[in-house]
Amino acid sequence: MNENNMHYDASDIQVLEGLEAVRKRPGMYIGTTDVKGLHHLVWEIVDNSIDEALAGYCKNIEIIINKDNSVTVKDDGRGIPVGIHPKTKISTVETVYTVLHAGGKFGGGGYKVSGGLHGVGASVVNALSKWVNVTVYKDGKIYEVRFENGGKTVQGLTVVGDCDPSRTGTTVTFKPDSDIFDTDIFDYSTLKTRTRELAFLNKGLRLTLRDDRDLEDTTGETFIYEGGISEYVKFINKGKTPIHDEIIHLEGEEDNIVFEVAMQYTADENTRIYSFVNNINTHDGGTHEEGVRRALTRIINNYARKVNLLKEKDEALSGDDVKEGLTMIVSCKHPNPQFEGQTKGRLGNSEVRKLADNVFSEGFERFLLENPEKARIIVEKSMLAARARIAAKKARELTRRKTDLDVVNFGGKLVDCKEKDPSVCEIFLVEGDSAGGSAIKGRNSMTQAILPLRGKILNVEKARLDRALANEEIRTIITAFGTGIGQEFNLSKLRYDKIIIMTDADVDGSHIRVLLLTLFYRFFRPIVEAGHVYAAQPPLFCIKHGKTIKYVLNEEERDDYISKLNNTKYEITRMKGLGEMDAEELNETTMDIDKRILRRITVDDIIQADAVFNKLMGEEVEPRREFIEQNAVYAENLDI
Ligand code: 1YM
């Protein structure tokens, strides 16, 4: 409508048609009309305040969720211009709210936050709202404009009062249209996460979030970080173990493109690299991230060679090696960002790659040279990752079986069964060579495979995959199972229906059993969960009664059985350890499908075993001594 609100002219009709298009296809403008789309409206408005902050005019932004689920966004910027716009002949503020795509800067210059997938500004919010109120404080006056029902002006820009001439800013309140959105309830924690992120990304900018639906929240939460993205890194690394104390923060600018990075290494193996362009998360990376990654790999390698940590013969550290344990925020402010990819989540501007590389390599190299002790810690962390990578690769090659011949032959250790159908096959993991020998002789060679285990297998509890794979016993087990390990793990390739642990009921036996369970728990949990793992239970006593021979597992069973013999004559012998049984005895007592007793291992068993395991393997001597003393009790409790 024109200024007098009296009649429509051609441009009014065009405006209404524009906003009507948004209402017809909201998805095209804000992605979705679910809860995500609803929150998107808030950011469209906040983005305008952030732009004003980036232009250097706004220091405070307030976001309030009102009782009626409308949202108010306030800033102390210059206030949206109130003069008549030459093209639309209505006030600029009204134009911004009613003309599609007019949300950006008219005057050009500055950084536009809009530029992401749906950065189409205030008019879209207006189109998708029941009502919108805009108040502008400027030149000692308070101006107001109100829209209803999808952006129709019900009160053109009007001076509603005076204010202190030093006061400037814009306040916008909008109520999303519940006919459009699946839900009109704002979620505080969603708003909080992004508000805090915006505070990290715009150092020194104060953002306050308040929930007026909540009677107790009278002051809201304020986020302001003078350290900017450095504080973001610190925030992310809370609860982790940094390997150097300060956060490395590098910054540079060229042709109005500001590039910034903050980073810190932690002791863990995960990488957390988050990148942003004009405060928008570039989840698919792009040229700013590429520049940094490239420089990081190059600089660490150069430095490591220079100080001779990395020797001539050593393989170069890879991009993955140097980012292990790294937390990094990359932030770029660009006057004309090009977003690429399906979801527009990648920065395409090629000039940024060079800027990022330059800024990062110069600053990071200086940091390494000035802090040799920290540099050494960082390089060693990368070298550890490289060693792990190389070892894991070698071990994977070793365990990747190619032909059946490999199976029969690996290390000459596994004695496989003839049958190939996994559903009828079993593998016995047997403690010691001598029991292994008896088991091989006593087995059913069609369906029973034997893998004798020599000595103790590695404690994988704290070992990483590469170290576990470096252990020959473990490698043999993995190869025998056929499932692969880590990312390549595939349960359907398991070559045996039953994996049977066969160990003595003494301390050594318990130890090996617990080590095996830990291995399974760490690396083969699906095998345990699917119920493929068993413990053989060699009997403790043999009772001869006339011609019958009865094996029993423990004292209780023994006494039970004897009590049923009505004082007739019987002979009782305590069974030997597995290693002392001959093939026939072993078959009879422990392996024969019809006579043996197996116990299926569950994940719960393993968790219990884990506690025992810690006692057994831990640093402290006292609990270990205690454990060994009380082993009888343990064997009973953990009779698996
Ligand atoms: C709560 C929402 O929209 N703040 C805001 C918006 C603008 C300005 C200041 C502004 C921009 C410029 C000059 C300029 C906008 N202005 C326009 C347009 N807060 C909120 N604060 N003066 C003031 O970019 O040159 C669009 S947004 F187009 F009118 F200039």
Per-residue confidence band for 381, with pLDDT thresholds at 50, 70 and 90: very high
Q: Which atom of ligand 1 is nearest to the CA of 85?
A: 29
Q: CA-to-CA distance for 212 and 104, rounded, in angstroms?
A: 30
Where helices occur in 484-630 by DSSP H, the ranges are 507-523, 525-529, 555-563, 583-586, 603-617, 621-629
Q: CA-to-CA distance for 336 and 549, rounded, in angstroms?
A: 88
Q: Which atom of ligand 1 is nearest to the CA of 110?
A: 24
Q: What is the pLDDT of residue 387?
A: 85
Residue 186 has pLDDT above 60, yes or no: yes
CA-closest residue to ligand 1 atom 19: 49
Ligand 1 geometric centre to CA of 36 (Å): 25
Residue 230: half-sphere exposure toward Cβ, Cα within 13 Å: 12
Tell me the per-residue pLDDT of 127-160, one tens digit each, with 9 for 90 and over: 999 999 999 999 999 999 999 999 999 999 999 9
Question: What is the mean pLDDT of the segment spanning 57-72?
Answer: 97
Higher pLDDT, 456 or 631: 456
Q: CA-to-CA distance for 467 and 536, rounded, in angstroms?
A: 28
In order of start, what are the domains of the chain with their CATH numbers?
Answer: 20-223 (3.30.565.10), 229-396 (3.30.230.10), 401-538+599-607 (3.40.50.670)
Residues 6+ apart with CB under 8 A from 212: 64, 65, 66, 67
Ligand 1 geometric centre to CA of 49 (Å): 8
Residue 278 has pLDDT above 60, yes or no: yes
CA-closest residue to ligand 1 atom 11: 80
Q: What is the pLDDT of residue 458?
A: 61
The answer to whether 554 and 531 are in contact (CB under 8 A) is no
Residue 89 has pLDDT above 70, yes or no: yes
Residues forming a β-bridge with 96? none
Ligand 1 geometric centre to CA of 612 (Å): 66
CA angle in degrees (0–180, nearest 5) for 371-376-380: 150
CA-closest residue to ligand 1 atom 23: 80
Q: What is the pLDDT of residue 376?
A: 96
Question: What is the mean pLDDT of the segment spanning 306-314?
Answer: 93
Tell me the per-residue pLDDT of 94-112, one tens digit each, with 9 for 90 and over: 999 998 865 444 444 445 5
The residues lining ligand 1, judged by C-beta closer than 6 Å to any ligand atom, are: 45, 48-49, 52, 73, 75, 77-81, 92, 96, 105-107, 170, 172
Q: Could you tell which of 51, 133, 145 is best to mutate to test the pocket of ligand 1, judged by most ligand atoms within 8 Å of the CB? A: 51
Enclosing H/E stretch for 25: none
Q: Which atom of ligand 1 is nearest to the CA of 74?
A: 1
The answer to whether 617 and 623 are in contact (CB under 8 A) is no
Please name which of 153, 129, 133, 138 lies closest in space to residue 52, comparing C-alpha atoms: 138
Q: What is the pLDDT of residue 320?
A: 93
Most confident stretch, 75-79, 266-270, 277-281: 75-79
Ligand 1 geometric centre to CA of 82 (Å): 10
Q: CA-to-CA distance for 581 and 567, rounded, in angstroms?
A: 29
Q: What is the pLDDT of residue 457?
A: 64
Residue 549 has pLDDT above 80, yes or no: yes
Q: Which atom of ligand 1 is nearest to the CA of 95?
A: 29
Select which of 504, 585, 588, 605 is catalytic.
504
Question: What is the mean pLDDT of the segment spanning 253-269?
Answer: 94
Q: Which atom of ligand 1 is nearest to the CA of 122?
A: 3
Most confident stretch, 183-187, 268-272, 389-393, 586-590: 183-187
Per-residue confidence band for 434, with pLDDT thresholds at 50, 70 and 90: confident
Select which of 362, 461, 508, 592 is catalytic.
508
Q: Could you tell which of 46, 75, 80 is best to mutate to test the pocket of ligand 1, judged by most ligand atoms within 8 Å of the CB? A: 80
Ligand 1 geometric centre to CA of 52 (Å): 7
Per-residue confidence band for 595, with pLDDT thresholds at 50, 70 and 90: confident
Does residue 508 carry a catalytic annotation? Answer: yes
Sheet holding 541-545, edge to edge: 548-552, 541-545, 571-574
Q: Which of 460-464, 485-489, 593-597 has the lowest mean pLDDT?
A: 460-464
Residue 283 has pLDDT above 70, yes or no: yes
Q: What is the largest CA-CA distance in the chain?
A: 118
Q: Which atom of ligand 1 is nearest to the CA of 169?
A: 21
Q: Which of 47-61, 76-90, 105-119, 607-621 has the lowest mean pLDDT?
A: 105-119
CA-closest residue to ligand 1 atom 16: 80
Per-residue confidence band for 3, with pLDDT thresholds at 50, 70 and 90: very low
Select which of 431, 473, 585, 605 is catalytic.
431
Q: What is the pLDDT of residue 503?
A: 87
Ligand 1 geometric centre to CA of 50 (Å): 10
Higher pLDDT, 618 or 534: 534
Q: Which of 104-113, 180-189, 554-563 has the lowest mean pLDDT?
A: 104-113
Q: Could you tell which of 41, 43, 45, 52 is best to mutate to test the pocket of ligand 1, judged by most ligand atoms within 8 Å of the CB? A: 52
Q: What is the pLDDT of residue 4?
A: 44
Q: What is the pLDDT of residue 114?
A: 43
Please, what is the average pLDDT of the chain?
Answer: 85
Does residue 506 carry a catalytic annotation? Answer: yes
Q: What is the pLDDT of residue 475?
A: 82
Among positive and negative, which fits the CA dihedral 209, 212, 214, 216? positive
Q: CA-to-CA distance for 399 and 240, rounded, in angstroms?
A: 34
CA-closest residue to ligand 1 atom 7: 80
Ligand 1 geometric centre to CA of 258 (Å): 21
Q: What is the pLDDT of residue 517?
A: 83
**Residue 99 carries which side chain, given as an amino acid letter?**
V
Among positive and negative, which fits the CA dihedral 475, 444, 406, 528? negative
Q: What is the pLDDT of residue 175?
A: 98
Per-residue confidence band for 88, with pLDDT thresholds at 50, 70 and 90: confident
Per-residue confidence band for 609, with pLDDT thresholds at 50, 70 and 90: low
Q: Which atom of ligand 1 is nearest to the CA of 172?
A: 1
Ligand 1 geometric centre to CA of 51 (Å): 8
Ligand 1 geometric centre to CA of 79 (Å): 6
Q: CA-to-CA distance for 454 and 391, rounded, in angstroms?
A: 23
Q: CA-to-CA distance for 154 and 600, rounded, in angstroms?
A: 75
Q: What is the pLDDT of residue 117?
A: 33
CA-closest residue to ligand 1 atom 8: 80
CA dist 17 → 42, 95, 98 (Å): 23, 14, 10
Q: CA-to-CA distance for 248 and 260, rounded, in angstroms?
A: 11
Q: Which atom of ligand 1 is nearest to the CA of 106?
A: 28
Packed helices 372-399 and 287-306: angle between N→C axes, nearest 10 degrees: 100
Ligand 1 geometric centre to CA of 46 (Å): 11
Q: What is the pLDDT of residue 418?
A: 94
Q: Which of 21-30, 168-177, 353-362 has the lowest mean pLDDT?
A: 21-30
Q: CA-to-CA distance for 209 and 194, rounded, in angstroms?
A: 10
Select which of 506, 555, 584, 626 is catalytic.
506
Residue 242 has pLDDT above 80, yes or no: yes
Q: CA-to-CA distance for 170 and 72, rounded, in angstroms?
A: 10
